[in-house]
Amino acid sequence: MVSALVLNDVHVSYHGKSAISGINLTVESGNVLGIIGPNGAGKSTLLKALLKLVSIDKGSIEIFGKTLEENRKRIAYVPQRSEFDWDFPIHVLDTVLMGTYPKIGIFKRPKKKERDLAYECLEKVGMEHFYNRQIGELSGGQQQRVFLARALAQNAALFFLDEPFVGIDIASEETIVDLLKDLRNQGKTVVVVHHDLSKATEYFDELLLLNKHVIHAGKPSEVMRPEIMLKAYERELSFLREAGVN
Amino acid sequence: MAFIEGLIQYDFLQKALLTSIIVGIVCGVIGCFIILRGMALMGDAISHAVLPGVAISYALGINFFFGAVFTGVVTAIGIGFVSQNSRIKQDTSIGIMFTAAFALGVILITVLESSTDLYHILFGNVLAVRPSDVWITLIIGLIVLISVYVFYKELLVTSFDPTMAEVYGLPVRLIHYFLMTLLTMVTVASLQTVGIVLVVAMLITPAATAYLLTDRLSVMIFLSAAIGASASVIGLYFSFTYNLASGATIVLSATALFFVAFLFSPKQGILWKKLNDKKNRLALQ
């Protein structure tokens, strides 16, 4: 079977400064991949490169053996929560409904079928009672669940989530993790940029430890070993040592 | 009452009323997207940038619509080009480009000694609307309203979450320039009614008022159009009755409506917010 993602020697730079370099990675379908690494390691850059939101200097990216353009409708992306204007005049259900837009196509409008799908997706994340609320009235965790519902409504094969667990409550975090695992069990592929190392082993099937380049990729038990983690977090540690922390 | 009699009696007043209502509606609709995309300054810029186009059109003897749309769109592209290709931020880029276009327009009008009355272009003179102007306004109005209706979904998603739109393959930048073109057309349609200097108020004030009154974009668009149209009618009444500049009276009417919403909006009004704060504090004592 064709791999969900194949990255071959991918390089990205901003204004002449290298952000990530020489990234080689293969992700098989039916996995939850966590991308971890210190601040400034290029985690979000890698995600943006995968989605062609930034251009790559060198290398190639294949999604299900094809280009991104041929796969756009099979991809759902959940941006970081901080990227939104939470005062935007939009309700929860209309937000989820956006997930149906890619397949409706231009000129057409969402009909009852799409509304029903959006509502079902809201039920999956346990947010159906809030369908009528303005999105800014929700808590961080509820907002994140709504955006996951939107991604579910896209009916994608490949899901990208950028820091979905930042600033959310533990119940929402568990709901989201369970849903991601459901997706995996249905054979879908999930890529999550993740910040917090403590739960990385529980949450992900595969881990990519990044610090400008691939430090290590593999099963969490292989990656989450002190000698490997040290390679990525060396700078943070030396900073702590200088500050007198043992 | 003299206003009603005037309306029945004078053809020019009927044209003025019709034009300003259309302008109020169309500005209200486009204005919603302008404020939600944080492009209020862009609206101001484009409206000033049509001036050289108007001057050239008069010199060439063509309808000012074509020249105005041309220089408006060129300026919008120029603003984008400067901010995307340097460290200059968007608002700074806007400040540089639109003042340049406006200054060029002032010189062109002087040099070409066109019959254009600068004062009327700058401040509007709705009572001097010609039949051809009514038609242009009507056609532009229809184009804009149909465009927004047809591309509502795309305008919504690119305003709310441009990254998602880009990921699923929408031409986000093209949609931006499309909106800029609509904005330029709206500005041209508003030249007669409120003039270049004040058109930004018609774009922003009714939309901002509607923004305080609802949590749904679709409702906001209709409210904004209604508020824009009401401001036009009220403004025209004062303009006619007290012989004041129509642009100024229409804009001040819109401002008055804004402050009513600012104070009394059920959800956002500062009056209720203050009252609730006080109630809460009293309840805790």
Domains of chain A: 5-242 (3.40.50.300)
Q: Can you give the length of chain B in residues? A: 285
In this prediction, residue B246 has a pLDDT band, given cuts at 50, 70 and 90, of confident
How close, in Å, is residue B24 to chain A by CA atoms? 21
Q: Tell me how far apart the alpha carbons of residues B73 and A17 are, in angstroms, rounded to a whole number.
A: 34
Token couple for B9: 């009696």
CA distance A124 to A241: 46
Nearest CA in chain B to A134: B215
Nearest chain B residue (CA) to A75: B168
Q: How far is CA A119 from CA A132, A143, A161, in A?
A: 11, 15, 21
Q: Are B237 and B231 in contact (CB under 8 A)?
A: no
ipTM for the predicted complex comes to 0.90
**Whether B156 and A98 lie within 8 Å, measured CB to CB:** yes
Q: Is 90 exceeded by the pLDDT of residue B84?
A: no
Task: Look up residue B135 and give its two tokens.
Answer: 């038609």
Contact A220/B at CB under 8 A: no
Is A89 in contact with B220 (Cβ distance < 8 A)?
A: yes
Q: What is the structure's pLDDT at B158? A: 95
State whether A98 and B169 contact (CB < 8 Å). no
Within 10 angstroms of residue A4's Cβ, the number of other Cβ atoms is 25
Which chain A residue has the Cα nearest residue B146?
Answer: A107
Which has the higher per-residue pLDDT, A225 or A160? Answer: A160
> Which residues of chain A lie closer than 8 angstroms to B160, CB-CB?
84-85, 88, 90, 95, 98
Q: Is A107 on the interface with B (CB under 8 A)?
A: yes
Q: Nearest to residue B27, comparing CAs of B273, B263, B230, B242?
A: B230
Strand order in the sheet with A213-218: A75-78, A158-162, A189-193, A32-36, A206-211, A213-218
**A84 touches B at CB < 8 Å:** yes
Quickly state the pLDDT bin for A245 (edges 50, 70, 90): low
A72 contacts in chain B (CB < 8 Å): 167-169
Determine contact, residues B22/B137, Cβ cutoff 8 Å: yes
Q: How many residues does chain A have?
A: 246
Question: Does residue B53 contact residue B228 with C-beta atoms inside 8 Å?
Answer: no
The DSSP secondary-structure symbol of A69 reads G
Tell me: pLDDT of B116 over 70: no
Instruction: Give the pLDDT confidence of A105-160 residue by residue, as tens digits.
Output: 888 899 999 999 999 999 999 999 999 999 999 999 999 999 999 999 999 999 99
A104 pLDDT exceeds 60? Answer: yes
What is the overall mean pLDDT for chain B?
89
Contact B36 A77 (CB under 8 A): no
Q: Minimal CA–CA distance to B191: which of B117, B256, B254?
A: B117
- B167/A75 touch (CB, cutoff 8 Å), yes or no: yes
Q: How far apart are CA B198 and CA A5, in angstroms?
A: 53
Contact criterion met (CB < 8 Å) for A107 and B217: no
Using CB atoms, pick whichever of A73, A107, A108 lies closest to residue B168. Answer: A73
Q: How far apart are CA A181 and CA A203, in angstroms?
A: 8
CB contact under 8 A, A72 and B168: yes
CB spacing of A77 vs B217 below 8 angstroms:
no
Give the chain A residue whose CA is nearest to the CA of B156.
A98
Output the CA angle B90-B94-B96, nearest 5 degrees: 120
Query: How many domains does the structure of chain B reveal?
Result: 1
Q: Could you read off the pLDDT of A29-63 as tens digits, one per residue?
A: 999 999 998 888 889 899 999 999 998 999 999 99
Yes or no: say if A179 and A122 are a contact pair by the CB < 8 Å rule: no
Indicate which CATH number applies to the domain containing B99.
1.10.3470.10
Collect all residues with Cβ–Cβ distance below 8 Å to A25 and sequence separation of at least 6.
A5, A6, A7, A208, A214, A217
Separation CA A136–CA A123 (nearest Å): 19
Q: Is the pLDDT of residue A244 over 70?
A: no
Q: Using CA atoms in the order A176, A177, A178, A183, what is the torsion angle rounded to 10 degrees?
A: 90
* Yes or no, beta carbons of B168 and A75 under 8 Å apart: yes
**Which of B151, B168, B216 comes nearest A102 by C-beta?**
B168
**Which tokens is B273 given?**
């917010």
Residue B24: domain span:
2-284
Nearest CB neighbour to B157, from listed A51, A98, A134? A98
Token representation of residue B58: 């008069």
Confidence of residue B101 (pLDDT cuts 50, 70, 90): very high
Cβ contacts below 8 Å, chain A against chain B, sum to: 68
pLDDT at B132: 82
Minimum distance, in Å, between the CA of residue A196 and any CA atom of chain B: 24
What's the whole-number mean pLDDT along residues B234-241? 92
Q: Which residues pair with A17 in a beta bridge?
A: A14
A85 in Cβ contact with A22 (< 8 Å): no
Q: What angle, rounded to 10 degrees, do the helices at B131-150 and B152-160 form?
A: 70
Q: What is the DSSP string of A158-196?
A: EEEEESTTTT--HHHHHHHHHHHHHHHHTT-EEEEE---
Residues of A with Cβ-Cβ distance to B167 under 8 angstroms: 51, 53, 72, 75, 77
Is the pLDDT reported for residue B203 higher than 90?
yes
Half-sphere exposure of B34 (CA within 13 A, CB side): 33
Helix (H) or strand (E) holding B284: helix B270-284
CA–CA separation, B212 and A222 (whole Å): 54
- Residues A58-77: tens digit of each pLDDT: 999 999 999 998 999 999 99
- Reply yes or no on whether the pLDDT at A246 is more than 60: no
Among B164, B169, B211, whose Cβ lies nearest the Cβ of A89?
B211
Top-confidence residue, B120 or B102: B102
Chain B CB contacts of A73 under 8 Å are 168-169
Residues of A with Cβ-Cβ distance to B159 under 8 angstroms = 88
pLDDT of residue B97: 93
Residue-level pLDDT at B57: 87
- Greater model confidence, B125 or A91: A91
Q: What is the CA radius of gyration of chain A?
A: 19
| Facing residue for A91 by CB, picked from B163, B168, B216 | B216
